[in-house]
Amino acid sequence: MKTNVIVKTFLFSFITLFFHFYLFSQQKSSSRNIFTVVLDAGHGGKDTGNRGNNYYEKKIALNIALKTGKLLEKEKKIKVIYTRKTDVFVNLIERANIANRADADLFVSIHCDSFEKNKSVFGAGTFVMGLHANDRNFEVAKKENSVIFIEDNYLQNYDGFDPNSLESVIGLTLMQETYLDQSILAANSIQNSFVYKLKRKNRTVKQAGFIVLKYSYMPSVLVETGFLTNKREGAYLNSKKGQSEMAETIAGGIKDYFSNLENTFVNNDIDYDERQNNLSSSKSNIIFKIQIAASNNYLATKSYNFNGLKGISREKNGNLYRYYYGKTPKYKNALSLMRRAKKKGYKKAFIVAFKSGKKIKLKDALK
Ligand SMILES: [Zn+2]
């Protein structure tokens, strides 16, 4: 009898403990695969945005952002962060910082355009940060950037940036260049959604120098949902129906981008060995790897030892084993591998460069 009770108690505690561990590991693994998107409603507070047809860009942008967020929040794997949820003024640099602090995967800034000179102009467009700016793109960016004039200390905050100077704008683009490929993919997903799902007039994906995109360390896009100066489009964007449809479309585009991203990474893992073989024939003798851990313990380079990451290599140095994830001759790919490793829980992962098999300084490799 007595032993029976002991066994039962034991069994009970064991099961409870097991469930705790099980739940804990489930939570951990799910939080690793979360896609964080920052929705940035343009303008706010003392910055009204454009006032085409007497509408308020700041109000429309906020409504669309909140509605978009509500739709995305229904997705289990998506986390939504807002730069503002009310009618308040937020510095451009603070908007980017909110996204950086959250280590977000995507930054989406929501706006409405205006064109007083020609009120017949209408349509939806999506922008990424980039050099190939023409005059019209520069004009759009200038308008969206000009808000810094009403910020305090803007010269200090933005390193003397002058929104009216094209040279200044070109200087902005360097940081975002790293994420340009991904930003364009995200922009295309959203723009396709505008054009094919909602049948908006296609003003295409373009590049221009937006401050709010400069300071974010992640793929970033800015959407111009339409023109408030256009009578019909202005009324549509100011209506509940218009705002709900816009939100659905933007949320749809973001979800498309996210599911493509997931598929790409899954395929990357599967194809890893194949690609590694191809690399040996690559012309460049510089290779980037992501160091994810260093330890005295010898571990098999199996994905189950590394939070599901495939393509792990190990290097012995004295008593220390270094573990690397991935292998690529392209620095851009190394950056996305690093993000992937961080997402999988290796928060301190960093890029290491090798030349002909020997470790070299990253700085030298980038020359
Ligand atoms: Zn705006």
Judge contact between 286 and 353, C-beta under 8 A: yes
Report residues near ion ligand 1: CB below 5 Å.
42, 49, 111, 144
Is 74 in the same domain as 120? yes
141 and 97 share one domain:
yes
Among 14-28, 176-190, 209-223, the least confident range:
14-28
The Å distance, Cα 43 to ligand 1 centre, comes to 6
pLDDT at 46 over 60: yes
The identity of residue 35, as a single letter, is F
**176 and 109 assigned to the same domain:** yes
Report d(CA 186, CA 285) in Å as an integer.
32
**Element housing 256 (H / E):** helix 240-270
Taking only Cα atoms into account, the Rg of the chain, rounded to an integer number of angstroms, comes to 24
Pick from 288, 135, 108: nearest CA to 190: 108
User: Which of 266, 290, 314 is the C-terminal boundary of a domain?
Assistant: 266
Q: How does residue 220 score in pLDDT terms, banded at 50, 70 and 90?
A: very high
Q: Where are the alpha helices (DSSP H) in 102-165?
A: 135-145, 154-157
Instruction: Compute the distance from residue 155 Cα to the ligand 1 centre, in Å.
Output: 21
96-130 pLDDT, tens digit per residue, is 889 988 888 999 999 999 999 999 999 999 998 76
Residue type, 103: D
C-alpha 225 – ligand 1 centre gap (Å): 10
What's the pLDDT score for residue 361? 83
Q: Which of 94, 118, 96, 97 is nearest to 45 (CA)?
A: 94
pLDDT number for residue 309: 84
Ligand 1 centroid to residue 147 C-alpha, Å: 9
Do 195 and 240 lie in one domain? The reply is yes
Shared-domain flag, residues 89 and 161: yes
Do 140 and 210 lie in one domain? The reply is yes
Residue 181 in this model has a pLDDT that exceeds 80: no
HEC profile for 277-303?
HHHCCCCCCEEEEEEEEEECCCCCCCH
- Which of 224, 245, 266 delimits the end of a domain? 266
Identify whether residues 13 and 81 lie together within a single domain: no
Mean pLDDT rounded to a whole number for the chain:
81
pLDDT digits (tens, 9 = 90+) for 279-298: 444 456 888 899 888 877 77
Strands 106-113 and 202-208: unpaired
Look at the pTM and tell me if it is higher than 0.85. Answer: no
Contact 352, 317 (CB under 8 A): no
Confidence of residue 272 (pLDDT cuts 50, 70, 90): very low
Neighbours of 226 (CB within 10 A): 29
- Residue 16 scores a pLDDT above 70: no
Average pLDDT of the residues in 186-196: 95
| Pair 181, 283 in one domain | no
pLDDT at 268: 44
pLDDT band of residue 70 (cuts 50, 70, 90) is very high
Domain of residue 59, residue span: 34-266
pLDDT reading at 271 higher than 50: no
Distance between CA 37 and CA 79 in Å, rounded? Answer: 6
Could you report the per-residue pLDDT of 145-161, keeping only the tens digit for each?
A: 777 776 666 666 666 56
Structurally, the chain folds into a number of domains equal to 3
For residue 49, report the distance from its CA to the centre of ligand 1, in Å: 5
Q: 111 alpha carbon to ligand 1 midpoint, in Å?
A: 4
CA of 263 to the centre of ligand 1 (A): 33
Query: What number of other Cβ atoms are within 10 A of residue 363's Cβ?
Result: 8
Please say if the pLDDT value at position 233 is more than 80.
Answer: yes
User: What pLDDT does 2 receive?
Assistant: 56
Query: From the centroid of its chain, how far is CA 14?
Result: 42
Strand residue runs (E) in the chain: 35-41, 78-82, 106-113, 124-129, 202-208, 220-227, 286-295, 312-317, 320-328, 350-355, 358-360
Q: Are 162 and 172 in contact, with CB atoms under 8 Å apart?
A: no
Could you tell me the distance, in angstroms and rounded to a whole number, from the CA of residue 50 to the centre of ligand 1?
7
**Rounded to the nearest whole angstrom, what is the distance from the C-alpha of residue 86 to the centroid of ligand 1?**
16
